[in-house]
């Protein structure tokens, strides 16, 4: 019997497979296809202080082996999350993290402190990397000073596990990672989507209403893998890797690069059962290679 459990700081996960925010709704959308309790955890939709309508349609464009999205953090706001959604999902026997986004530091702080009171939410993922909203979001994640400032401010009011999601749209992601670590993050997750663009040559117009959007899917995997490797070497806190993971081999590659756990995002759209297939595949990999614990794979990349 192999051991799939991992620990991201105070978070004890039954396996290293989480779902990426914005690709899994609140988990309930997938209940017809998987037993949510089988997952290591779910990171629910980006939540802001006030409800957001998001960007205008069109919000997506398919690209080779991936997609661009410009949803713009459409969500019901933290108060309705707490009153309407939380009661329905708190029963899940898996770790539920709430992705928290904001336009100002005060937004982040207020939203995080409200979620701090929820018994069955063991952590938040601070989103300082959404490329699809004009104010805030990614703006915080692209400079060391602002990334550290928002992390420090939230750390003061949030006592449970604080994961910070990094933007790949920076010159040196390791530098940002160190700043966020100094700000008091318990773990780092990466990568959020890469800023991209699609043009319709027929109409000579951008495909997305916002002109630019975030690229995800297998197309971004090599970039994500490289950044996870760089960040894992740069910080002491655990790293959660994501970016185009579609199968167990992808997941193992991210763990070898230094990730303690992984998130699956866009692949959920293609196969709503991909999460449980990855868990099963990772288990098989360990058995076939006589590895007792998944933890032996973390950062076990051989570069010699």
Partner 1 sequence: MKYIHDFRIVSNQRQNYEYIVLTLRAEGFELPEMLPGQFAEVRVPNESSVYLRRPLSIHDVDYERQEIKLLIQEVGKGTKGLGSLPEGSLLNLIYPLGKPYTLPESNEVLLIGGGCGVAPLLFLGRYLKNHGIQPRYLIGARNAEGLVRLEAYRELGEVNVTTEDGSVGTKGYVIHHPVMRTETPDFRHIYTCGPDPMMKVIAKYADRHGLSCQVSLENLMACGIGACLCCVTKTKDGNKCVCTEGPVFDSKYLQW
144 given a catalytic annotation: no
291: Cβ–Cβ under 8 A, 6 or more apart, which residues?
2, 285, 297
Which among 51-59, 108-116, 163-171, 196-204 is the span making contact with partner 1, rule CB under 8 A?
51-59
Does the footprint of partner 1 cover residue 67 (CB under 8 A)?
Answer: yes
Strands 6-8 and 11-13: antiparallel
Question: Using CB under 8 A, which of 2, 79, 223, 269 touches partner 1?
Answer: 269
Question: Using CB under 8 A, which of 6, 13, 18, 23 touches partner 1?
Answer: 23
Tokens of 200: 């319709």
55: Cβ–Cβ under 8 A, 6 or more apart, which residues?
70, 71, 72, 74, 132, 209, 210
Does the footprint of partner 1 cover residue 218 (CB under 8 A)?
Answer: yes
Choose between 122 and 272: whose C-beta lies nearer to partner 1: 272
- Cβ proximity of 95 and 27 under 8 Å: no
Does the footprint of partner 1 cover residue 74 (CB under 8 A)?
Answer: yes
List 17, 42, 68, 130, catalytic entry: 130
Rg (CA), the chain: 18
Q: C-beta of 74: minimal distance to partner 1 in Å?
A: 5
Does the footprint of partner 1 cover residue 92 (CB under 8 A)?
Answer: no
Does the footprint of partner 1 cover residue 104 (CB under 8 A)?
Answer: no
Does the footprint of partner 1 cover residue 290 (CB under 8 A)?
Answer: no
Torsion over CA: 169, 172, 178, 182 (sign): negative
Does the footprint of partner 1 cover residue 266 (CB under 8 A)?
Answer: yes
Which among 62-70, 117-125, 151-159, 277-285 is the span making contact with partner 1, rule CB under 8 A?
62-70
Strands 161-165 and 187-190: parallel
Does the footprint of partner 1 cover residue 30 (CB under 8 A)?
Answer: yes
Does the footprint of partner 1 cover residue 59 (CB under 8 A)?
Answer: yes
Does the footprint of partner 1 cover residue 273 (CB under 8 A)?
Answer: yes
How many of the chain's residues bind partner 1 (CB under 8 A)? Answer: 34
Binding site for partner 1 (CB under 8 A): 22-25, 29-30, 32-33, 45, 53-54, 56-62, 64-67, 69, 71, 74, 217-218, 266, 268-273
Q: Which residues are catalytic?
A: 130
């Amino acid at each position: 019997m192999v051991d799939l459990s991992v620990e991201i700081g105070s978070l004890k996960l039954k396996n290293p497979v989480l779902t990426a925010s914005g690709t899994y709704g609140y988990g309930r959308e997938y209940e017809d296809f998987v037993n949510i309790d089988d997952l290591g955890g779910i990171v629910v939709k980006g939540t802001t202080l006030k409800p957001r309508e998001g960007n205008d349609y069109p919000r997506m464009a398919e690209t080779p082996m991936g997609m661009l999205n410009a949803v713009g953090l459409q969500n019901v706001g933290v108060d309705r999350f707490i009153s309407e959604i939380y009661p329905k999902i708190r029963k899940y026997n898996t770790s539920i993290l709430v992705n928290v986004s904001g336009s100002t530091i005060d937004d982040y702080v207020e939203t995080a402190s409200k979620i701090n009171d929820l018994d069955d939410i063991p952590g938040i993922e601070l989103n300082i990397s959404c490329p699809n909203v004009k104010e805030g979001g990614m703006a915080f994640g692209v400079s060391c000073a602002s990334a550290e400032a928002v992390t420090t401010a939230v750390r003061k009011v949030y006592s449970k596990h604080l994961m910070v999601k990094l933007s790949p749209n920076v010159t040196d992601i390791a530098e940002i990672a160190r700043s966020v670590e100094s700000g008091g993050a318990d773990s780092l997750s990466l990568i959020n989507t890469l800023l991209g663009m699609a043009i319709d040559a027929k109409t000579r117009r951008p495909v997305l209403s916002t002109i630019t959007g975030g690229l995800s899917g297998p197309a971004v995997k090599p970039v994500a893998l490289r950044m996870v490797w760089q960040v894992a070497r740069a910080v002491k806190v655990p790293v959660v890797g994501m970016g185009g993971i579609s199968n167990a081999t992808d997941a193992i590659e991210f763990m070898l690069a230094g990730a303690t756990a992984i998130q699956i995002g866009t692949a959920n759209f293609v196969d709503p059962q991909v999460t449980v297939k990855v868990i099963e595949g990772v288990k098989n990999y360990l058995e076939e290679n006589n590895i007792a614990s998944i933890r032996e794979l973390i950062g076990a990349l051989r570069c010699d």
